[in-house]
Chain A
C-alpha cells in the first residue's frame, strides 16, 4: 500500500558539518528509486536542511535513505543517522507545509525556502522522480505557503539592520525615485544600506568622506556622486535620507547645526540612519520636528521586534496549515483506497474465473 514519508535533517537537529556531508549528489534520485525502492522521490537541499520526500509501496527504512544520500564510497558515522528525523503520512504533509511557509526556517517567515522548494520540485519532475502523489503534495504546499504569507504577518518587518533601515525609509517616503540620499562617511555598513536603497530605486546618492578618494570610489560603486566634506550641511538641506558612519569621536550632527538646515523644509521629513559607533548624531536630534533618527541600537531593536512579531504569527500560520493538512490527508486516503480497490479487482475476477 502506498505510503508518503519524509526523512531529513536540518539546523534544528544537525550541525553544519553534518549537513554538509548529506547535501546530495547527482545519483540520489536514481538511488532512492532503484536501491531504496521508492516509487516517487524528491530531494530538497538548502544551506539549513536536507530532506527527502518520497512515496513507496514497500517500507523504506531511514538508514536506507541516509545511505542513498551519501556519495558512493562514504558511509554514515556511528551516530549520524540519529540526527535524521522521519515524518510519516499526515505528519509528512504537515512538515512540508510548515517548511514551505517558512515556519520551520532559522529566520521565521523567510521566503527563500519557497523558491528552493519550487526548484527541487521542478528538478524532480524533469527527472521523472516526482509522480502524482508528490506532484499533488508540492502543488498544495506552494498554495499553502502563499496563503500563510498573505493572510498572516509572518513575512512582515525586516530582521537585519540594513533591511530595517530600508523598510523604515520606505514607510516614510513610499516611492524612492525622487528621494535624495547623503552618505556621511563611506563605511562598509553605510555602503550596504546605500546599495539597498539604490536597488529600491533611489537615483540621487551623494557621498562625502574625510578621504575624498574613498568618497569617489564608493560613489562610483553605487552610481552616486562624491561631494566635499565641508559642504555636507548644504547638501543636508536637500536630502531626504542621511546615512552617517564616520569615525568621529564626537557627534557631527547636533540640534544646533541641524536646526537652521531644517528651517525651510519643515514639510519634508528627514530620516537619519546613524550606523557609527561612537554615534555621529546627537540623540536629542530625534526630538526635532520632522526628524526620525535611528541609531544602530534602535535598528537592532526593531529587527528583534520584527522577529518577535513573526513568532507571534506562527500560531495563525499553523491554523491555516492544519486545515490544508486535513484536506490533503482526506484526498490521499481516498485516492490510495481507490487505487487499492482497482488493483484488487483484476485479482478477484481472476480467482472467480478459476473457480
Chain B
C-alpha cells in the first residue's frame, strides 16, 4: 500500500519532467503553473507515504536507505514549494522535478527497502538529528538546482547564444541571491541537525561524524567565500553543484556501508 503511494507520487514528478522536456524540445516552453501543481500533488503523495510508513514503524520513517532517499526527495519538494514561488515557479520546478524523480526512482528500483533486522525503538533526538539534517540536504539540493540554472544562464550570456528558455530564467543577480539564501538555510539546519546528533546518548559513529563535519566545513567554506567577495558567483554556483553531488554520494555510501546505521 505505502509503495503504491510512492509510485503515484513518482509518476507526478515524471509527468512534470516529461512535459517540460517535450516543451523544451518543441521550443514551446512557457511559464505556467503546471510544474508547480504536479510537484504539489507529488508532494501530497510523498507525505502520505511517509505518514503511512511512520505509523507502521511507530517512529520517523528513517530506518533504511530507501526511506532516507524518499525523505530527502520529500525535503527537496518541501523547500521548493516553500521558496519556489519567489523565483519564477515554473522554471525552478522544471529543474527540481527531475531531481526528485531521480531520487525516488532510485529508491523504488534499487533493492534497498530492507526492513531493519531489529525493531527500531523511537529515539526523539536521533529522529530530530536525522530529519533536520535531511531537510538541510533538501535546501542544499535546491541550491544545487539554482546553481545549475545560474551556470546555464551565465553560459548563454557569455556565448551570446540565447535558447528559447533564456527569458524564463530569473535574473542572474536574483538567482545568486537565492543561492545565498538557500545555502544559509541549509547550513543553519545542518548545524542544528549535527548538534542534535550529539544528544542521542548513543556511542558516536566516527565515520558518520567525520562525514557530517566534512560536509558542514565544505558548505561553511562556500559561504565564507561568498561573503568575502573573493570568489566569482559562477564559481560559487559550480561549488553548490559539486558540494551537493559529493554530499549525496557520501550519504549513499555511508548509509549503505554502515550496516548498523539506523539514522
Taking Cβ atoms with an 8 Å cutoff, the residues of A that contact B are 150-153, 156-157, 167-168, 170-175, 264-269, 286, 289-290, 292, 294, 298, 301-302, 305-306, 309, 312-313, 316
Contact = CB atoms under 8 A, between A and B. Distances in A.
Given A171-B157, A173-B173, 6 more contacts: A167-B167, A173-B171, A267-B233, A290-B233, A294-B160, A316-B28
A212 B139 CA distance: 52
Contacts of B160: 294, 298, 301-302
Given A168-B157, A171-B166, A266 B27 contact: no
B172 interface: yes
Nearest to A268: B173
Q: When A and B form their complex, which 9 residue pairs have the shortest distance between CB atoms, in order from nearest? A: A174-B171, A289-B232, A174-B174, A298-B160, A172-B172, A267-B229, A316-B28, A292-B157, A156-B167
B231 A266 contact: yes
A266 B230 CA distance: 7
19 contacts: A150-B30, A153-B28, A153-B29, A153-B167, A157-B162, A171-B153, A171-B166, A171-B167, A172-B171, A172-B172, A173-B172, A174-B171, A265-B229, A266-B229, A266-B231, A298-B160, A302-B162, A305-B162, A313-B28
A150 B32 CA distance: 9
Nearest to B169: A171
Contact of A172 (B28, B167, B173): B173
A264 B26 CA distance: 43
A301 B162 CA distance: 10
Interface in B62-95: none
Contacts of B166: 171
B230 to A, nearest CB: 7
A13 B30 CA distance: 33
B164 interface: yes
Contacts of A156: 164, 167
A265 B169 CA distance: 24
A292 B161 CA distance: 13
A312 B27 contact: yes
Contacts of A313: 27-28
A174 B232 contact: no
A302 B164 CA distance: 11
B158 A292 contact: yes
Contacts of B157: 168, 171-172, 292
A267 B174 contact: no
Contacts of A289: 232, 234
Contact of A267 (B167, B171, B232): B232
Contact of A174 (B32, B173, B230, B234): B173
B61 interface: no
B170 interface: yes
Nearest to A295: B160
Contacts of A170: 171
Task: Kindly name the residue among B170, B232, B234 whose own CB sees the greatest number of chain A CB atoms within 10 A.
Answer: B232
B167 A157 contact: yes
A168 B171 CA distance: 9
Task: Kindly name the residue among A150, A269, A292 whose own CB sees the greatest number of chain B CB atoms within 10 A.
Answer: A269
Contacts of B172: 171-173, 269
A172 B176 CA distance: 10
Contact of A151 (B27, B30, B226, B231): B30
A342 B226 CA distance: 76
